[in-house]
Structure formats: structure tokens, C-alpha cells
Amino acid sequence: MRRPAVLQVLPPVSAGGPPGSAPMADQPQSDTAPKWWSRPAAPEAEAEAGSAAADGPAQPDSVPAADAGPLAAEAAPAPRYDPWGEQPLQVADRGKAAGGGHVVRVRHALALGLGIALLAGGVGGWLGVLAERQSSTRLELPQAAVESKNRAPESVAGIAATALPGVVTLHVRGSTGSGTGTGFVLDGQGHILTNNHVVSDAKDITVTFSTGESVTAELVGRDSGYDLAVVKVEGVRGLHPLSLGNSENVKVGDPVVAIGAPFDLSNTVTAGIISATGRPITAGGDKGDGSDISYVDALQTDAPINPGNSGGPLLDAKARVIGINSAIRGADKGDSDKQSGSIGLGFAIPVNQGKRVAEELIRTGRATHPVIGVTLDMEYTGDGARVGTKGEGGKPAVTPDGPGARAGIQGGDVITKVDGVRVHGGDELVIKIRAHRPGDPLTLTVLRDGRERTLELVLGSANGS
């Protein structure tokens, strides 16, 4: 802030006569000289005259008062300016009122200016502090404005928004422990489809919806051969059944979305593509007797799937279920160098198979399996599936009057193709057969005595487990 200049009143400059000169003595004045040039008596003389008049009669050598009348009359007014006097008269005293007011106005102006300067400085300082505080404590970086959260229906976000209300998380407590799985709503009556291995040992089943609401569920039916099960909830309003697609329409490279609860992280959404179709896989077998082995002609996907995703939906670009996530190819047991979670090899039960089994479980509590009525030699190591020479308990390997016997299959035949698709072992043959319904026609290619034969048969039916 600029400080106002300090004003000083300079003392009057003394004005004397010429250097080295002394005050001039009074001289007789001629009558012809102008009166304005006349000089008054010296101050010392006036003082002496006044003193003499006060002390007594005038001295003889003094001028009589009557004779000095003209001079006395001229001396009566205020003394005139004497340029040769030792201390000239000051004219400032004659205008004292006007001069004093000017000084007061200058002081008021100085005080007002100083106040304005102080006020401006204070306001500027306050604004500076405020700006500094805002810049240091409320730093704001450039940011996009709030936009609409609506997404295209075919985007991953759009698919998730459509399907999430119909996906549930299952918490199961059994005799050997507890676990977590996933399921999805089939209809408005509260039926939910999931995997058999999620609820196979269940004593208590709790279903949690995407809204956070949890209810108890009851088991309707299950089938270990297909690894599918149906549970049901009661008294739940506002259910959102998911739309079912058609797994026959799926092509390799199609985009897919998986929803589930991996490691109990409910409502997890992942995305990928269909990596392969008709991939024969078997899962289970923990019991050792083969009763818990499931045979699946699976859809393979690279969408990340982990433990807890089991039973969740695999969705197409229109948010329709095309598969039920069931298994993953993880690290080999005892191999610490391989990761234990998803390695991009996930498998889902085709929805066409899941739909048929779910309908049977809801209707009867059990599912039927298509069969050809033969016993396979599971120890055969050659290419294809070989029919055994003896069945269980000494029975014939080919069931009399069964579908295979009617089609002309004999013991020892090697089945190499199903509907023109090659099979490389007994498991693959079972998987290809279970991908169909009982009553469906099949064309089998068999190798007998080194020659291939084509046989036509109609699948039979057997009750599942």
C-alpha cells in the first residue's frame, strides 16, 4: 500500500536588508516626496517614545505632539510592509479563518484517503486469503458432467441391468459343511434352477435376491447325471424370471455375460465369448462309484467363472439364458505353479438340456435319461466307444428288445460316430446321447470286423438319479 506523503509547514524565510547593511535611520522627508515611500519610525524609536510618554512629560528635545500631528496620524494604522526590515510582516495572519479552513480540509482529505486505502487493503487481503484457502483446501480438477446412466440393451451393462433382478445367491448348509452357489428364477411361482452339486447335501437353503432380501427355499428335485436341481421359494413378490434362449443358435465367437457369486461375491458380472460348442466334459466323481458323475455336452467360454458361479446363467447379447455355468478347468491338484481360480476355461450346460430337465424336475421331481440299451466297455483304450461282451451281473451287454438290439447293435461293436460326429471314447458317447431327449432318432456309425456300418435307432428312456 502506498503511504501518503508527509507534509511539513516550512518556517517563514527571514528577509533582511542588503548584506552588511544596518537598519536605515529615519530621515527628514521633503513635502514633494510621495507618502507611500515614507518610512515609519524605527521600532526602537517608537518604543522609546511610548516609554517616555508613559513615564512623564516629554523631554525638551522631543517634538511636540501638536507639531507631530500629521506623522502621528499616519503612524496610527497598522504598520506597512518594510522590505528592509529585519522581520517582514506576515500576511497569513490577515486571512487566518480562510487559511485555517483550508488546512482542516486538507487534513480531512488525508484522513479520508488513508481510511479508503486501509479499507481497500483490508478487503484485498481478505480476498487474497480466501482465494488462497480455496486454492489449497478446495482444489477442483476438471471432471465430466453427470450423464445418463442408461445403456444400450445389448451392451454388457444393459444385459446386466436386465438380468440381475432374476439372479439369486444360494447359501447352503449341509451335514458336511456349508457353501455358496448361484441360481436364476424360472417362473413367477418361485422355481429357481441351479446345479445339483450346489444343493446335493443341503439341509438348509437360503436364497438371497439382488435386492438383498433373503428367504428360505425348499428342494423340488435334482439329477446328478445332468448336474441340475430346482428349488422353490414361497411368498416372494415381484419375481423377475429370466428369458430362455436356444443353445442351438449359439456360434463360436458370440459375446456372452456370466453372472454369479464367485467366492461369495454376489451379483458379480463378467464377460467373454463362446470359445467352443459341443465340448464333452464330465464332472464330479467324488463318491468313487460313478453315481455323482455328470455328463455334459458343454458350451465353453472364456468369461471368468470361479467357485460360487455354479448354477448361474450364461447370457447372450439379448440377455437370454443360453447356458447354466457348471464347471471350470482349473489347476491340477498338487500343482502349485498353476492358479487355482479361473484360467479362461469355463463350461456351461446348454439351456436346451437345462430346460427339459427343469421341466421334468418341477413336474415329477425326477429327470429321465435317454439310453440306447447297451453296456459299454469303459476300459477300452482305442478310438471310439466299444460295446461290452457281458453286462452287469452276467446279463447280456445288449439289452434284449432294447433300442440298440432293435437297431442291430452287437457285443464288441465299436461306435465311432453319432449323427456324423466322431466320438473318441465311452464318456463322449454318453454325453452325445444325453444331449438328446428320449424318443429322438439317432444315426450311429459302428465298426464291426473292420467294416463300418450305419445304424438307425430311437432313443429309449430311463429314470435318472
The DSSP bridge partners found for residue 299 are 348
Active-site residue (options: 82, 223, 227, 316): 227
Is 227 one of the catalytic residues? Answer: yes
Active-site residue (options: 171, 191, 197, 369): 197
Active-site residue (options: 224, 247, 266, 310): 310
Is 175 one of the catalytic residues? Answer: no
The DSSP bridge partners found for residue 444 are 418, 455
Nearest to 303 by CA among 345, 331, 265: 345
Is 214 one of the catalytic residues? Answer: no
Instruction: Give catalytic residue positions.
Output: 197, 227, 310
